[in-house]
Chain A
Amino acid sequence: MTLTFLIHQSKAFWRSKNTGKSVVMRVVMATLILYLLLNVLVVAFFLDRILKKTNPGQDILYSFNSYILYYFLMDLLLRFQMQELPTLSVRPYLHLRIKKNQLINYLSLTSLWTTFNLTPILLSLPLLIKVVLPEHGPTQFWSLLVSIIGLTLSNHFFSLWIKRKVNLNAIWMLIFFGTLILFVSLDFYFKLFSISALSAGLFNSILKNPLYCLIYLLIALVVYIINYRYLKSNLYLEELHTADTSHKSSTEIPYLNRFGKAGDLVANELKLILRNKRPRSVITMSLMFMFYGLIFYTNPTFSGYSGIVFCGMFMTGIFIINYGQFMFSWQSAHFDGILVSKVSAMDFFRSKFLLFTFFSSICFLLTIPYVYFGWKVLIVHFIMFIWNLGVNTLLVLYFANQNYRRIDLSKGATFNWEGVGASQWILSIPLLLAPFVIYYPLNLLGYPEAGLALIAVIGLIFMISREFWLNKLVKRFQEKRYLIAEGFRNK
């Protein structure tokens, strides 16, 4: 049966309408993953030396053991962010003569195929061979390996379970992060207990009593069963498809009424963002980007303006970039409805500008605390804010006119390549380069401030002449709308 499912899935992949694109994406992803694994291997081979450097005078194995729990905590966080839930659209199988066990086992088995499960083993194996095998013998070697595998599997199924829980009810996310933060703060701030000491204690005891490793296998088994039971009791259409059945209320966003029809459209789009999974995760990601400056500004090597220009553009424009690059695809499911309704293309485009301005302003306000790193940071941020509103909005909307890919709003955003096409890649080139093309020549000549001023002036010019560009965009939209609508009808 599992084999049949595999065959069906491969057919679904190869026969889908955008197979060519997916294959390219897979190849790119595979290369990236291979590269990452290579890096892991290099680290793994030098792990004993690295540990010697970081914890001088300590037994290598002791320091290794003390880090294991930290690793798995990090692993859990990463998995929570990035690990994909195994997908088999179970809908066509549920009514057939197929046992639920088979479906669930398939889902569980195929989920194991992920780099997250490979890295811990790759990372620890060389050290285990180099240090544990000669010093403690094969029994200890195997028992440590088994416990690491056990922990990997527990993490794996635990993250699948918690992700499904979160999908149904976001409160689980709060509980999950709350617990993690509690542990970490108890360790680092209150020093009530030490995860590293616990970790070292646990794994050193395995060296003395190798049979303890079975405990970790047992934990893995328990988590697997929990996940299995949970899936089994939730493998019903209604629960898989409509996430939560709580009462949905009609909300009004009063302030937007002032902007006429464009305002109404923005109100709708805000609801689109808040009520659908993928745009919602775009917003979360954008908010994470507000910390981007901390990486650059705390690092003294980025002392010039160019770092701030870069950060400023990303932080104040992240919504324009992240959300805008998939523009009109967000509305692909009801694009026909928009075209036949009494919404003029002009209002449609105006609403996009309004939306961009709204979110960019929020981003700008959120980045004001960076003034801590000096007033010039704030000024450059403001210049880039103007640049984003003037230039990048137009750029993004220009490319939106040639984006014909449908997006399913109900899927998450991490590693979701649906809707990604050539236009997103091409878009990124002018988006990233334009401000630097203006700034660098003047910077090289020794007038960095003049470069910044020029960016601001160009941004302002485009803001003032927006109406002119808007007309061009609308005209292009009128030509392209059949193609866009047709592309969006292709599921």
Chain B
Amino acid sequence: MIGISNLKKKYNGVTVVNIPELIIKRGETIGLVGNNGAGKTTLFRMMLDLIRPDSGEVLSDEKNVAESEAWKDYTASYLDEGFLIDYLTPEEYFHFIGGLHNKSKAQVDSELPAFSEFFNGEILKKGKYIRDLSKGNQTKVGVAACMIQNPQILMLDEPFANIDPSTQIRLKNMVKDISREKHITTIISSHDLNHVTDVCERILLMEKGKIIKDIATTSNTLQELEQYFSVLS
């Protein structure tokens, strides 16, 4: 589904991403872990064609993301608040995003109740613009907007970071469900090792721009990761 080759990015002489090869198969659930500055977000941004790589390419469905826009049809992502149109109400935003994927307002409205548990009554019909929501609630809007797009690839950058424990668990279940039922390729970065090892079947560990570990999740993975991070500090 996604192929990365010789991907490199430098800022001021410091290599922030350097990935010779990475292949992500359809339907895989990938967890991306690594300390701050390991290059996770930069990698995401290059995969979404937001940053031009110094060299190498990211192929999505065999097409280079920098050259073809076809990936936008089946890729949904939420990295940060910069992805939200903050002067819209959440409803307006969902309608807009749905409209881009040829869904009518009524269709979007009929899908929204499925998120009522996830939203916990804090998003819809509140009469607030997105900019007036808390960061956690903004994350909820961003994630739900991703789901509305019925993507084949889902990318979330630290989705667990700002949301409350109940919502974290709901989000985990949601991701698990859709990746199982709809066979979606999911890439999630997180600092919460418990959550990633729980959700993801494959873990990529980044350090200084490189993927230094690429492991299939087993019962030992959590321990292994914890050991890595504790030794490092």
- Report how far A489 CA is from B50 CA in the complex, Å: 11
| B-chain residues with CB within 8 Å of residue A8 when the two chains form the complex | none
| B-chain residues with CB within 8 Å of residue A418 when the two chains form the complex | none
| A-chain residues with CB within 8 Å of residue B127 when the two chains form the complex | 246-249
- Report how far A482 CA is from B49 CA in the complex, Å: 8
Smallest CB-CB separation from B88: which chain A residue? Answer: A271
Residues B51 and A336 in contact, CB atoms below 8 Å apart: no
Of the listed stretches B26-34, B76-84, B221-229, chain A binds: B76-84
Choice from B52, B80, B100 contacting A342 with Cβ under 8 Å: B100
Residues A489 and B97 in contact, CB atoms below 8 Å apart: no
Is B18 interfacial (CB-CB < 8 Å)? no
Of the listed stretches B67-75, B173-181, B197-205, B208-216, chain A binds: B67-75
Residues A482 and B87 in contact, CB atoms below 8 Å apart: no
Residues A486 and B87 in contact, CB atoms below 8 Å apart: no
Given A340-B77, A482-B51, A486-B51, are A334 and B83 also a contact pair (CB < 8 Å)? yes
Residue-by-residue, is B117-132 near A (CB-CB < 8 Å gives 1, otherwise 0)? 0000000000111001
Interface size for A (C-beta < 8 A) is: 30
Residues A333 and B89 in contact, CB atoms below 8 Å apart: no
Residues A337 and B84 in contact, CB atoms below 8 Å apart: yes
Residue-by-residue, is B139-161 near A (CB-CB < 8 Å gives 1, otherwise 0)? 00000000001000000000000
Residue-by-residue, is B47-75 near A (CB-CB < 8 Å gives 1, otherwise 0)? 01111100000000000000001001101
Residues B79 and A336 in contact, CB atoms below 8 Å apart: yes
Q: Which residue, of B79, B101, B127, has the highest number of chain A Cβ atoms within 10 A?
A: B127
| B-chain residues with CB within 8 Å of residue A268 when the two chains form the complex | 85, 88, 96
Is A485 interfacial (CB-CB < 8 Å)? yes
Given A248-B127, A248-B129, A261-B100, are A271 and B87 also a contact pair (CB < 8 Å)? yes
Residues A334 and B85 in contact, CB atoms below 8 Å apart: yes
| A-chain residues with CB within 8 Å of residue B48 when the two chains form the complex | 339-340
Given A268-B88, A333-B82, are A339 and B50 also a contact pair (CB < 8 Å)? yes
Is A264 interfacial (CB-CB < 8 Å)? yes
Choice from B82, B83, B99 contacting A264 with Cβ under 8 Å: B99
| B-chain residues with CB within 8 Å of residue A343 when the two chains form the complex | 72, 100
A-B contact count (CB 8 A): 76
Smallest CB-CB separation from A273: which chain B residue? Answer: B87
Residues B128 and A337 in contact, CB atoms below 8 Å apart: no
Residue-by-residue, is A327-340 near B (CB-CB < 8 Å gives 1, otherwise 0)? 00000011111011
- Report how far A35 CA is from B6 CA in the complex, Å: 59
Choice from B49, B75, B83, B129 contacting A275 with Cβ under 8 Å: B129
- Report how far A344 CA is from B71 CA in the complex, Å: 12
Given A250-B92, A271-B92, are A335 and B87 also a contact pair (CB < 8 Å)? no
Residues B79 and A409 in contact, CB atoms below 8 Å apart: no
A154 to chain B, nearest CB (A): 35
A423 to chain B, nearest CB (A): 21
- Report how far A48 CA is from B96 CA in the complex, Å: 65
Choice from A249, A261, A336 contacting B82 with Cβ under 8 Å: A336
Interfacial residues of chain B within 1-55, with CB under 8 A of chain A in the complex: 48-52
Residues A336 and B85 in contact, CB atoms below 8 Å apart: no
| B-chain residues with CB within 8 Å of residue A261 when the two chains form the complex | 99-100
- Report how far A409 CA is from B100 CA in the complex, Å: 25
Residues B83 and A336 in contact, CB atoms below 8 Å apart: yes
Is B91 interfacial (CB-CB < 8 Å)? yes
- Report how far A73 CA is from B132 CA in the complex, Å: 37
- Report how far A379 CA is from B216 CA in the complex, Å: 73
A–B complex contacts, Cβ < 8 Å, 29 sampled? A248-B129, A249-B89, A250-B95, A261-B100, A268-B88, A268-B96, A271-B87, A271-B88, A272-B87, A275-B129, A333-B82, A334-B83, A335-B82, A336-B50, A336-B80, A337-B83, A337-B85, A339-B48, A339-B49, A340-B77, A341-B97, A341-B100, A342-B100, A342-B149, A343-B100, A344-B69, A482-B50, A486-B51, A489-B82
Closest 7 CB pairs of A and B: A247-B127, A337-B83, A482-B52, A342-B100, A275-B87, A336-B82, A342-B72
